[in-house]
Amino acid sequence: MSASTQSHGRLAGVAAALFAVTIWAGWIPVTRLGVVTRLTPGDVAALRYGTSGLLLLPLLLIRAREVPWRRVFVLAAMILGAGVPYFFVFATGLRMANSGQGGVLGPGAAGVFTVLIAALLLGERPSRVQVAGISITVAGIALVVLRELYAGGARAGGFLLILCAALAWASFSVAARTLRLRPVVTTAVISVVNAALYLPLYFATGGLQRLALVPVHDIALQVIYQGVLTGILALVAFTFAIERLGAAGAASFTPLSPVLVAFTGWLILGDTIDATTATGLAAVSIGVLVANRGYAWFTARR
């Protein structure tokens, strides 16, 4: 592969990663809007994976032979890491943490965890500049967490849940990189399998009866944003970015969304951004800029 082709491939990966994080910038406030008003995390999860699973079922049936079904553990890490368990834990955490805090802890920690796991399992060793960027990101996360603990820790449980969800997302990123499926096939597997596993339980526990009491416009917002934009388009784009940039390279873009997350959360929900959260947002944004510089240096020498 020529240097020009490689450069174009990396550029396409960068564009895909930026598209994904832009969609995710609205995902946290939209999810929080749902779970603090009329919907539960379980309701929103059903709308997300039910919609994307139904839309992508025909594609998975056609492409099923491309999926290495015998690689059970890697597939499980991918399916659960971006599936209902990840979503449910993150959404539950957002009931306690506001949008800005979720933006710092979720995308920021996911990027850090992915780089660490990719280094351990895939040999994608970060450069010194990348390590510096990760360190700045960790400092921003630590600042927000320590400030909450100092204030009494009322939201600490939510913080812990979001960090656990970030670790799950990192597992998805590395597993997707390992399997190297087509991005749309990866998305179809995640969506359809999660829908098949979760929806029967959701229906059996009265999920449809609960949704019947929710205004149609609330359901429509979650269906479009969760099921189509986040559940399909953003996930396809991010998986494509993983394919072109590597797990660590794609993950290094995820902390770009916190500032937009905080702004959108303030706009939609009136979530306040205190000085500590603002500093944390600045730290993870600077961290990703530094890490991306390191990633560009790293790939240029490969």
Half-sphere exposure of 240 (CA within 13 A, CB side): 20
Query: Among 79-83, 106-110, 264-268, where is mean pLDDT lowest?
Result: 264-268
Per cent of the chain over pLDDT 70 is 90
Tens-digit pLDDT profile for residues 131-157: 888 888 899 999 999 988 888 888 889
**Given the structure tokens 């388009």, which residue do they identify?**
233
The answer to whether the beta carbons of residues 181 and 65 sit under 8 Å apart is: no
Domain containing residue 286: 3-300
| pLDDT of residue 6 exceeding 70 | no
Structure tokens at 4: 């020009």
Query: Among 21-30, 160-169, 203-212, 242-251, where is mean pLDDT lowest?
Result: 242-251
Query: Among 4-8, 174-178, 186-190, 288-292, where is mean pLDDT lowest?
Result: 4-8
**Can you tell me the distance from the alpha carbon of 27 to that of 264, in angstroms, rounded to the nearest whole number?**
10
What is the value of pTM for the model shown?
0.81
| pLDDT of residue 296 exceeding 50 | no
SS3 sequence, 17-79?
HHHHHHHHHHHHHHHHHHHCCCCCHHHHHHHHHHHHHHHHHHHHHHHHHHCCCCCHHHHHHHH
Alpha helices (H) along the chain: 3-35, 41-63, 72-81, 84-93, 99-121, 128-150, 156-179, 183-204, 207-211, 216-222, 235-245, 247-251, 258-269, 275-300
pLDDT confidence band for 293 (50 / 70 / 90): low
| pLDDT for residue 112 | 86
| pLDDT of residue 294 exceeding 60 | no
**What are the backbone angles phi and psi of residue 42, rounded to the nearest 5°?**
-65, -40
Which among 27-31, 129-133, 201-205 has the top mean pLDDT? 201-205
pLDDT confidence band for 300 (50 / 70 / 90): very low
Comparing CA positions, the residue from 136, 140, 159, 134 lying closest to residue 149 is 159
Q: Which is more confidently placed, 72 or 259?
A: 72
Number of domains into which the chain is organized:
1
Mean pLDDT value across the chain: 85
Tens-digit pLDDT profile for residues 46-97: 999 999 999 999 999 999 999 999 999 999 999 999 999 999 999 999 888 8
